């Protein structure tokens, strides 16, 4: 498992893979968490960072498992207007391309994720951020996130794009994430969804939209 993981992530761990494998195997924790923890701690040390995080969207469905693996971990839940999300899903090949299905998918995901957050975490372990706030007022929103994480805010955090290419694969689905925070995607749905599609999404997701 360790060897395969290292081989798959040569782009991230470019040092001597044999030495890294030996380092992981020497750790006394013999669980699935152990190798991941050791390598993430190693990676953050090499970049002179005090902590590491993980941003896979589907983590939302494993909040209970992740909290069990990493007690006291903090979770940032980013939510976005379902009209924008559905429009985006409609254009991605591994989703159905069907507005009704994708709106239902968004609603089901939000409900399942929020239930897990509520059941698995204390209030000081979770923070909900609106995507729209993040791109419209990145400085203020990032300060809120830093306060939640008990980390000092630094303006240079918003200059992540200056070194983004050093830490990302050469091929990614959304190249725009290598650039500065921007509002380019805020209103695409208004031009790309029909009036009927918009009405359908608002009907399906009305409860969550009103609350969020």
Query: Is 80 exceeded by the pLDDT of residue 168?
Result: no
pLDDT digits over 33-51, tens only? 999 999 999 989 988 988 9
> What is the token pair recorded at 93?
């090949």
CA dist., res. 164 & res. 35, Å (int): 25
pLDDT digits over 51-82, tens only? 999 999 999 999 999 999 999 899 999 999 99
CA dist., res. 155 & res. 60, Å (int): 28
The whole-model pTM stands at 0.89
Contact 17, 6 (CB under 8 A): yes
| Those residues with Cβ within 8 angstroms of residue 198's Cβ, 6 or more apart along the chain or in another chain | 83, 189
Contact 205, 189 (CB under 8 A): no
Query: Is 90 exceeded by the pLDDT of residue 199?
Result: yes
Confidence of residue 166 (pLDDT cuts 50, 70, 90): confident
pLDDT digits over 139-164, tens only? 999 999 999 999 999 999 999 999 88
Among 88, 49, 55, smallest CA distance to 201 is for 88
Where is 23: in which H helix or E strand?
helix 17-26
Give the torsion through C-alpha atoms of 60, 64, 69, 75, to 10 deg: 50
Query: How many Cα atoms occupy the beta-carbon half-sphere of 174 within 13 Å?
Result: 8
Q: Output the DSSP codes for 103-122.
A: HHHHHHHHHHHHHHHHHH--
Query: Is 70 exceeded by the pLDDT of residue 14?
Result: no
pLDDT digits over 75-123, tens only? 999 999 999 999 999 998 888 889 999 999 999 999 999 999 999 999 9
């Amino acid at each position: 498992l360790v060897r395969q993981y290292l081989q798959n992530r040569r782009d991230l761990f470019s040092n001597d893979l044999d030495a890294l494998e030996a380092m992981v195997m020497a750790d006394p924790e013999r669980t699935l968490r152990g190798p991941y923890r050791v390598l993430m701690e190693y990676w953050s040390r090499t970049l002179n960072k005090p902590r590491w995080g993980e941003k896979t969207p589907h983590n939302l469905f494993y909040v209970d498992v992740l909290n069990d693996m990493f007690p006291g971990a903090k979770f940032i839940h980013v939510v976005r207007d379902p009209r924008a999300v559905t429009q985006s899903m409609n254009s991605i090949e591994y989703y159905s391309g069907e507005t009704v299905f994708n709106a239902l998918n968004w609603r089901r995901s939000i409900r399942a994720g929020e239930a897990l957050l509520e059941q698995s975490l204390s209030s000081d372990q979770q923070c909900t951020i609106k995507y729209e706030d993040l791109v419209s007022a990145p400085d203020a929103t990032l300060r809120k996130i830093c306060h939640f994480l008990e980390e000092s805010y630094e303006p240079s955090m918003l200059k992540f794009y200056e070194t983004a290419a050093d830490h990302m694969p050469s091929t990614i689905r959304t190249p725009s994430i290598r650039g500065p925070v921007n509002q380019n995607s805020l209103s695409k749905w208004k031009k790309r969804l029909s009036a009927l599609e918009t009405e359908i999404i608002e009907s399906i997701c009305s409860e969550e939209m009103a609350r969020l």
